[in-house]
Amino acid sequence: MSVLHTFGRRGLLRLLAVTALAWGVGGPIALAQPGGTSKPLQQLRIGYQKSAANLVIVKQSGWLEKRYPNAKIAWIEFPAGPQLLEALAVGSLEFGLTGDSPPVFAQAAGKDPLYVGAEPSKPDSSAVLVLKDSPLKTLQDLRGKKIALQKGSSAHYLLVRAVEKAGLQWSDIQPVYLTPADARAAFERKAVDAWVIWDPFYAATELAIQPRVLANGRGLSGNNSFYLASRAFTEQHADVLNALFEDLTRADKLVQQDRAGAIKLVADFSGLDAGVVSLFLQRRPPSPVGPIQPATVRDQQRVADAFHQLGLIPKPVNVAQAVWRGTQP
């Protein structure tokens, strides 16, 4: 059944409240309240990746353009979260979605992204891969090996946790920092021994060459997804953030209730095979967009602390200082 009909605002706010309670203990840390002071929207530049199913569906459906017909809305694709947050930091974006690690690296570098919303974790959506004929069988076998990953991405934290679980030190491995496209090429020609990657790159590779999975995020990294915005945008457009959350949750409902329709929207946009899209959507749990919960902040602080303890970021990071508190006093 298609769910491209419009949800009521009250109904969606109730859904977000229920979802928030399911994510963690305590009330929301960040969610704009209706009626907050806002300026008319003139421009909204949204950064996204192919993995951002909810954002892609909102883009393809044109819902924001219908809400704000007088605003200039631009959609800008990035290969990974670090590049997206760099654009946010220099004022080229107002809003975007990344995994757990990019905001930590951005904050440690003195940048000022604000966490404004989140989706539930997706532990099955990223993995440590080896080729099917690789001699590597366990995480312990990563000792001394070259492992490709995007620096500062969610894959970075997954590898940190995998190394820890294996009883190894970070210095026991050889990280090779590559973008997803370059990493896949290196992986397939055996220039690296393993690759840590997320969907849909993971799904595309899985269907194309049947690599083996040494580990995914289960028990290692929850792979939380965060919506971030510039400080100026949050100060001026609390109502637009509410509208974004509504449309993103509407998109997630489409994924859950009209999977064929969602696959077509994402495949038409991305150029990915429908089988790839189907596989990576299967690995996503229901992902309505809600406020940042205290438990999620604690999870993210553990990510930041792990990177600092390993010397992978130059200074400690206090995640809570970068969480937007909306229009609440």
For residues 198 and 102, is the Cβ–Cβ distance under 8 A?
A: no
**38 — pLDDT class (breaks 50, 70, 90):** low
Position 17 in a domain = yes
How does strand 114-119 pair with strand 225-229? antiparallel
Let me know whether 109 and 16 are in one domain.
Answer: yes
For residues 78 and 126, is the Cβ–Cβ distance under 8 A?
A: no
Using H for helix, E for strand and C for coil, what is the string for 128-180? EEECCCCCCCCHHHHCCCEEEECCCCHHHHHHHHHHHHCCCCHHHCEEEECCH
User: What is the span of the domain harbouring residue 243?
Assistant: 9-121+224-322
Let me know whether 115 and 165 are in one domain.
Answer: no
Query: How far apart are alpha carbons 95 and 236 in whole angstroms?
Result: 13
Q: What share of the chain is helix, strand, coil (3-state, %, to 5)?
A: 45, 15, 35
Confidence at residue 271, expressed as pLDDT on a 0 to 100 scale? 87
Confidence at residue 181, expressed as pLDDT on a 0 to 100 scale? 94
**314 — pLDDT class (breaks 50, 70, 90):** very high
With a cut of 80, say whether residue 221 has pLDDT above it: no
Query: How far apart are alpha carbons 237 and 245 in whole angstroms?
Result: 13
Predicted TM-score (pTM) of the model is: 0.83
CATH number at residue 117: 3.40.190.10
| Share above pLDDT 90 across residues of the chain, in percent, rounded to a whole number | 74
Let me know whether 244 and 274 are in one domain.
Answer: yes
Confidence at residue 326, expressed as pLDDT on a 0 to 100 scale? 67
Confidence at residue 26, expressed as pLDDT on a 0 to 100 scale? 32
Confidence at residue 189, expressed as pLDDT on a 0 to 100 scale? 98
With a cut of 70, say whether residue 22 has pLDDT above it: no
With a cut of 90, say whether residue 17 has pLDDT above it: no
**51 — pLDDT class (breaks 50, 70, 90):** confident
Let me know whether 177 and 244 are in one domain.
Answer: no
For residues 16 and 290, is the Cβ–Cβ distance under 8 A?
A: yes
CA atoms within 13 A of residue 213's CA, in its CB half-sphere = 15
Query: How far apart are alpha carbons 249 and 238 in whole angstroms?
Result: 17
With a cut of 70, say whether residue 167 has pLDDT above it: yes
